[in-house]
Amino acid sequence: MTGAIATPTTLAFKRKRRSFRFLSRHLTIVIGATLMTILVLLSVCAPLITPYDPVALDLIHRLRPPSASHWFGTDNYGRDIFSRTLYGGRVSLFVGISAALLSALIGSVIGLLAGMFRWADAPLMRVMDGLMAIPAILLAVGMMILTRPGIPIVIIAITIPEVPRVARLVRSVVLVIREQVYVQAAVAIGTKLPRLLLHHILPNALTPIIVQVTYVCASAVLVEAYLGFLGVGIPPETPSWGNIISDGRTYVQLAIWIVLFPGAFLGTMVMAINMLGDGVRDMLDPRLARRL
């Protein structure tokens, strides 16, 4: 507050009011960002925070309810659920963010090509239609059976069905932007195609891409959990939220905390990512908010 005293009081008041207005107008983004920050910090700092090794067995203290020594209780092997949940968050986050970035990258390139070049449009989009027809879970199960399961395969399996969604979105946005007068103006001043794409088309297509990326991220976190639950995801020795819930499902009546805490974290993270996405969308483009 010393800074506020030094500046004229009206200015300080204005600044305060402006930041308050930002908070109230973009409440979803604030809540989403706060939850996300907490979850990311907990996951990233898991080795510093967690009191136990997430895979260490302690058969004497199996199926213990939440207590001071085991905050979220223990599972049927006596593994600490708090530690496992935080470590599981790292896997979920990594899978979610990787799948989102990967599908955004591939989908944007395909959408950009399809939107800019007439000759590329039909072939690319028919391939995308074909990919969209494949059920995501079926594709993932098939890939797990045919390859050695691991985090990279899970990421690829989640990315493939998401690529067409991003590609279609980017294509439709590019079709609008390429007709804008500023694109024509750029052509008139001799802008070459690569620069046209990177400096004029892509920056103006970024808002919907960012929003879509958050949705892909949320859905990737969920699909990773489905796959883990079905036993075709990340190998069971790695604690991921899907795997923990899968392990705990047989003990639901005895020890509900095994599925309760990772489940709650999963739900919270998906909700936080979606809120962040909605908030970013509303903040960057109020017109888009009404259209979607």
Partner 1 sequence: MLEAAPLLTVEGLAKHYQLDGGHTLKAVDGVDLHIGRGETLGLVGESGCGKSTVGKTILRLVEPSRGSVQLDGVEITGLSYAALRQQRRNMQVIFQDPYASLNPKMKAGAIVAEPFINYGLFAPRERTERVADLFARVGLRPDQMDRYPHEFSGGQRQRLGIARALALEPKLVIGDEPVSALDVSVQAQVINLMVRLQEELGLSYLFIAHDLAVVRHISDRIAVMYLGRIVEMAGTEALFETPSHPYTRMLLASVPSADARRGDRRRTVLRGEPPSPLAPPPGCPFHTRCPDAMERCRIELPKPRQMAPGHMAACHLIP
Nearest partner of 237 among 31, 101, 88, judged by Cα:
88
For partner 1, which residue of 184, 198, 249, 292 counts as binding (CB under 8 A)? 184
| Sequential DSSP letters for 128-144 | HHHHHTS-HHHHHHHHH
Which residues, at least 6 apart from 53, have a Cβ–Cβ distance to it below 8 Å? Answer: 83
Interface mask toward partner 1 for 111-150; x: CB under 8 A:
----------------------------------------
- Of residues 186 through 245, those in contact with partner 1 by CB under 8 A are 186-192, 195, 199-200, 203-204
- Burial class of residue 283, CB neighbours in 10 A (0-12, 13-18, 19+): middle
- Please, what is the minimum distance in Å from the beta carbon of residue 153 to partner 1? 37
**Does residue 5 interact with partner 1 by CB under 8 A?**
no
By C-beta, is 179 or 237 nearer to partner 1?
Answer: 179
- Please, what is the minimum distance in Å from the beta carbon of residue 48 to partner 1? 40
Scanning the structure block, which residue is given the tokens 């199926």?
63
**Does residue 182 interact with partner 1 by CB under 8 A?**
yes
What sign does the CA torsion over 115, 119, 123, 124 have?
negative
Size of the site for partner 1 (CB under 8 A): 17
Nearest partner of 233 among 159, 162, 157, judged by Cα:
157
74, β-bridge pairs: 80
**Does residue 176 interact with partner 1 by CB under 8 A?**
no
- Please, what is the minimum distance in Å from the beta carbon of residue 193 to partner 1? 9
Q: Which residues bind partner 1 (CB under 8 A)?
A: 180-182, 184-192, 195, 199-200, 203-204
